[in-house]
Structure 1
């Protein structure tokens, strides 16, 4: 995924660490970065969820490192696709595998009557269908 920077060079997506409140690091956040002018910008596809996460964190959390790819499917798919072992795997296959994993989790959560887990898994499936499958940019990674 790429876009044009204000300096007219190309910005590419990288998984970066965002620091919050000097003590909390949010790792694997998809960010557009420009190698030329060093500008960076959080992807619109994850900005809302990152903002929600930061609001939840507030000052009540003592955890020092949070992995954004554990809570956002777009970040998760970028993380998996950038893994050395997955470099030769088509993104379509990675997406299909993740959807199947989530559907399996949904069935298990439903069978256990765990409504919180069901809601979380449905939310993850919606992230894929709303932000990834309908977003043609994912195929330009």
Structure 2
């Protein structure tokens, strides 16, 4: 889960609060942050989910605050892996990913046996979130 900043320093992954439109606080957004130059960027695996969420909020959302871990499988897994405030261990993240994929697959089988198409789609969406990978992970 290493990433190098354009300044040459290694960026650290952490969970941060993103403020959208001055009115919405989105907590627990995974970002890479450079301790040397303070540059930061959203963790690539969650960018599509964050932009999708922001799109749903619209241009003038009401004041609100919520945890991104409720919307993003990656944010939830990184929150679980790094609850002590330190950068999450890559092996621990991989273990959590494997456990979560297995749990989602089991739930998908249950949804399929119940004929619940909506639940199946939601589970496929969640699976696609955590199987979406970039070369940095």
Q: Please tell me the TM-score bracket, short chain as reference.
A: 0.7 to 0.9
Cα 1:59–1:121 shift into 2, 3 Å: same
Moved more, 66-75 or 14-23: 66-75
Q: Which runs of 5+ in 1 are unaligned?
A: none
Q: Which runs of 5+ in 2 are unaligned?
A: none
* Displacement after TM superposition at 1:103 (Å): 1.9
Question: Match of 1:76?
Answer: 76
Q: How high is the TM-score relative to the length of structure 1?
A: 0.78
Q: Deviations over 1:16-73 (max 9, x none)?
A: 1100121211111111111122111112222122111101011575461222222222
Question: Match of 1:129?
Answer: 131
- Residue aligned with 1:32, SS: strand
Between Structure 1 and Structure 2, the one with more helix by share is 1
Question: Match of 1:66?
Answer: 66
Question: Match of 1:43?
Answer: 43
Greater relative contact order (Cα < 8 A, sep 6+):
2
Say how many residue pairs are matched: 133
Q: How high is the TM-score relative to the length of structure 2?
A: 0.80
Q: Deviations over 1:51-109 (max 9, x none)?
A: 1110101157546122222222222221111124xx78733321221112212322333
